[in-house]
Amino acid sequence: MLLEKPTTRRKFLLGSLLALPLSDLVLKGLTAAQAAEMAAPELADYKPGFFSADEWQFILAATDRLIPAGGKGKAPGALETNVPIFIDQQLQTSEFGDEIYLQGPFNVHADPTFGYQIPFTPQQMYHTAIKLVTQWVQTTYNKPFQQLTLEEKDDVLTKLNKNGIDFAALGEPNMKASQFFSQLLSDTKHGYLADPMYGGNKGMKAWIAIGFPGARASFTEWVKQHNVPYPLGPVSLMGERA
User: Tell me, what amino acid is at 52?
Assistant: S
Cβ-based neighbours of 39, under 8 Å, separated by 6 or more: 14, 17
For 35, the enclosing helix (H) or strand (E) is: helix 32-39
How far, CA to CA in Å, does 191 sit from each of 81, 103, 125, 126, 197? 8, 29, 18, 16, 11
Closest CA to 186 of 61, 86, 107, 37: 86
- pLDDT of the residue at 39: 59
- pLDDT of the residue at 8: 44
Cα separation, 51 vs 88, in Å, equals: 7
Given a cut of 50, the residues of the chain with pLDDT beneath it are 1-28
Cα separation, 66 vs 147, in Å, equals: 16
How far, CA to CA in Å, does 200 sit from each of 69, 137, 223? 15, 28, 30
How large is the C-alpha radius of gyration of the chain? 21
